[in-house]
Amino acid sequence: MSSAQPIRILIVTEPDQPTSYLVNQLARCWHDAGFSVEFTCTLDAPNRADVVVLHLDKTLVPDPYLEFARRHPAHVNGNARSISKELFSQHLVDPSVGTDHPVIIKTKSNYGGMREDSRRAGIWGSVRLSRWTTKVALTKRAISPGIRNVAWRNVTSLGDYPLLDSSRDVPAGVWDNPHLIVERFCPERNDAGAYVVRHWFFLGDREFSRTIASMRPVTKWSRMTEAERQISREEWWDVEVVPEAVVPPRVRSVREDLHLDFGRIDWAYHEGEPVVFDVNKTPSFRLPPAGESELRRRILSLLSDFASGVNAIALKA
């Protein structure tokens, strides 16, 4: 590839993909850096890219997409076929053994399985439990054990990951459901008692880490209070984009095992040991409110540095 020519980046997405993903911010950074950036929703695009970025919000990427990416000089996540939780979970619970430790029910698929559910045709194609219906489905007095177990056996997505005191409280239908897993709940808590989740972002040879914390056991931005979010925003002033973030080998090995060039891994320390919670190759990203202009400029500057990680990938061409 001639250095006189701008790097041509082709981002492969799905139709009607929202613009709330980190890749949309990166695309702006690449454009500002003088790269040629194009989005496509098909595999019919002519071979005019130096780097193909596979950005499909799917747990399992169909082979034609992987093959398309590999036909180009360089690619991002062209070898990342699956991010199913069963591939990296360290604390899966065996129903024949059980545990007295608190447990959490999760979908094997990313994002509670809801992306996959949205693609299933027909009303009988999926059974989704929202946050409220999940609680009802776990209440023994609400419905008979038989109905409850049948319901859990057919669940394909969860609006919330339920926590239970032990594996004895897990409905039998969960164990029979190929879409679900049960893990030991292994959180990290800070001095204030909040539950901490560490986010490790990476693109090529550029990385950064940050944390979020909430008094809710399953820590998600959507469930944090505004005060908790503000603390998280202030942490951006301490974030630095580096060639190698301070991440334990166990966490770093998950990226390597799943063949990820770009994404985010959520993890924490539990009793001094690193535990991986989630892997996402299509992370979303929220800029601070428009009123916080200084912080927005700070984050946009960090993202510009982070976006340069594509250069190391393009050099492989």
User: HEC profile for 131-160?
Assistant: HHHHHHHHCCCCCCHHHHHHHHHCCCEECC
Element (H, E) at 40: strand 36-40
Confidence (pTM): 0.90
Three-state DSSP at 164 gives: strand
| Phi, psi dihedral angles at 223 (to 5 degrees) | -110, 0
Q: Sheet holding 8-12: strands in order across?
A: 36-40, 8-12, 51-54, 74-76
Q: Which residue has the higher pLDDT, 31 or 222?
A: 31
Tell whether the model's pLDDT for residue 99 goes beyond 90.
Answer: yes
Q: Which range among 25-29, 38-42, 143-147, 154-158 has the greatest average pLDDT?
A: 25-29
Specify whether the CB–CB gap between 40 and 10 falls below 8 A: yes
Helix (H) or strand (E) holding 242: none
- In terms of C-beta density within 10 A (0-12 exposed, 13-18 middle, 19 or more buried), how is residue 316 classed? exposed
How many CB atoms lie under 10 A from the CB of residue 168?
Answer: 10
Please report where in the chains the tokens 């990166």 appear, as a residue. Answer: 26
Is residue 2 over pLDDT 50?
A: no
> Would the CATH topology of 8-76 be identical to that of 188-306?
no
Q: Is the pLDDT of residue 27 over 80?
A: yes
d(CA 267, CA 251): 7
- pLDDT score of 125 more than 50: no
At the topology level, CATH places domain 188-306 in D-amino Acid Aminotransferase; Chain A, domain 1 (3.30.470)
Report the pLDDT value the prediction gives residue 136, as an integer from 0 to 100.
Answer: 47
Q: Is 77 left (phi over 0), alpha (psi -120 to 50) or beta?
A: left
The residues near 304 (Cβ < 8 Å, ≥ 6 apart) are 29, 32, 33
The CATH number of the structural domain formed by 8-76 is 3.40.50.2300
- Check pLDDT > 70 for residue 17: yes
- Interval 136-145 mean pLDDT: 55
Assess whether pLDDT exceeds 80 at residue 3.
Answer: no
Q: Enumerate residues 6+ apart whose C-beta is below 8 A from 44.
A: none
Helix, strand, coil tally for the chain in percent (to 5): 30, 25, 45
Query: Is there a contact between 212 and 219 (Cβ–Cβ < 8 Å)?
Result: yes
For residues 158 and 105, is the Cβ–Cβ distance under 8 A? yes
How much is the mean pLDDT over the chain? 89
Cα three-residue angle 315-201-244, rounded to 5 degrees? 65
Query: When comparing pLDDT for 120 and 197, which is higher?
Result: 197
The full set of domain ranges for the chain reads 8-76, 92-184, 188-306
